[in-house]
Structure 1
């Protein structure tokens, strides 16, 4: 399984990272739209939207705004969405400890709420990735690698030292030791990158703290998708990626990490904020 995961990640991830690093913004927008479209289709399956038209409408409700926001100059609407999604993830973080799995099938109203949650979650993530790429493509590469290392570090640390469950009602396999291992991996990576980029000491310290925060935030995105899968009674969101499951299974950490990372970079003035279009 691990070998299959590595081969899939290398075959798909490396070309995608090359495109992000050196490709034009419109190509990255197209890639993000494709990934989000596939992830939304899987999300619709988890939400029990059995009608293909309904699921296709959900895909359009996510992809069309992302493309429109990606093509438009940065305006007040972009900052409004960024602010709202920070509040969205804060609420999810506060509610995670109170989650308990339903013993009965979710009512239709719950399925509708999960579909709405797809829009609230995926649209800002796509917007954030395309926006950040327009400002600093290498920071998108850094974010993707950081989130992957957080997951990898947590996996191996959890296997070796995991004893105490992190969120037993949501994802019993995750442990506090695994979380710590993931965060230490993130910190080590951030130290190396800060040194290579020659950041000033104060900027480097802020960059390291933000990176560790993003490692934590990525776990929140992962746990949120785990709730969707538990409610749907599914182990994976799909089967498109051998060894990984579905697209959403690989993108779940990024949906939380991308907008928070962008907001942190802008707020901490680690990257210049683009002028707001009238």
Structure 2
């Protein structure tokens, strides 16, 4: 399984990161839209939308706004969406501890709500990635690697030291020790990143704290997708990525991390904020 994960990440992940690092913004917009389209198709299945037309409609409801937002100048609408999605993830964080699996009939009643949640969560994530790429492409690469390392560090720390469940009603395999291991890995990577970029001491400290926060936020996105899978009775969102599961299984942490990372960078003035177009 581990060999499969490494092989898949090497064959697909490295070329994608190279494209993000050196490709034009419009190509990255198309790449992000493709990934989101596949992830939304899987999300629709988890939400109980079985027909191709219904799933396709949800895909269009995510991809078309992402394309429109990514192709247009940064304006007040972009900032509004970014602000609203921060509130969304805050609400998700607050309700996660109270989640309990429901009966089958109650799950069916909530399917359309989960489908709507795809638009609320995925559109801002795609917008944020394209927006950040237009400002500093290498920060998108940094974010992708950071989220991946948070997951990897948590996996190995959890396997080695895991004793106390983090969210037993949502994802019994995740542990507090794994979370701590992931955050330590993120901190180490952030120190390297701050050194490479030559940040001043105060900016470096803020950058480290923001990176650790993103490590935490990525877990929120992961747990939210775990709820979707638990409600659907599925282990993975799909099977497109050998050793990893589906596209959504690899993108779930990024869904929460991308808008929070962008907002943090802008608010802390670590990157220049473009003026909102009229």
Assess same fold via TM > 0.5: yes
- Whether 2:48 is the aligned partner of 1:48: answer yes
Q: CA separation in 1, counterparts of 2:158 and 2:79?
A: 37
1:107 CA drift (Å): 4.9
In the other structure, the counterpart of 2:173 is: 173
Runs of 4 or more, structure 1, over 6 Å off, are: none
- Whether 2:6 is the aligned partner of 1:6: answer yes
Partner SS state of residue 155, structure 2:
helix
Q: CA separation in 2, counterparts of 1:7 and 1:103?
A: 39
Partner SS state of residue 163, structure 1:
coil
- 8 Å contact from structure 1 (residues 41, 56) kept in 2: yes
Unpaired runs of 5+ in structure 2? none
In the other structure, the counterpart of 2:194 is: 194
Map residues 200-239 of structure 1 onto 2, 5 A cutoff.
200-239=200-239
| CA deviation map 1:240-264 (0-9, x unaligned) | 0000000000000000000000000
Q: CA separation in 2, counterparts of 1:111 and 1:194?
A: 43
- Whether 2:240 is the aligned partner of 1:240: answer yes
1:192 CA drift (Å): 0.8
Q: CA separation in 1, counterparts of 2:183 and 2:50?
A: 39
In the other structure, the counterpart of 2:113 is: 113
Q: CA separation in 2, counterparts of 1:107 and 1:21?
A: 41
Partner SS state of residue 104, structure 2:
coil
- 8 Å contact from structure 2 (residues 107, 231) kept in 1: no
Partner SS state of residue 110, structure 2:
helix
How many residues matched?
Answer: 278
TM-score normalised according to structure 1 size: 0.99
Partner SS state of residue 241, structure 1:
coil
Q: CA separation in 1, counterparts of 2:155 and 2:103?
A: 29
Partner SS state of residue 235, structure 1:
coil
Partner SS state of residue 14, structure 2:
helix
Partner SS state of residue 73, structure 1:
coil
- Whether 2:129 is the aligned partner of 1:91: answer no
Q: CA separation in 1, counterparts of 2:269 and 2:106?
A: 44
Q: CA separation in 1, counterparts of 2:109 and 2:65?
A: 24
TM-score normalised according to structure 2 size: 0.99
Judged with a 3 Å threshold, the aligned counterparts in structure 2 of structure 1 residues 217 and 107 are, in CA distance, closer, same or farther, namely closer
Q: CA separation in 1, counterparts of 2:106 and 2:226?
A: 15
1:44 CA drift (Å): 0.4
Unpaired runs of 5+ in structure 1? none
1:51 CA drift (Å): 1.3
| CA deviation map 1:63-93 (0-9, x unaligned) | 0000000000000000000000000000000
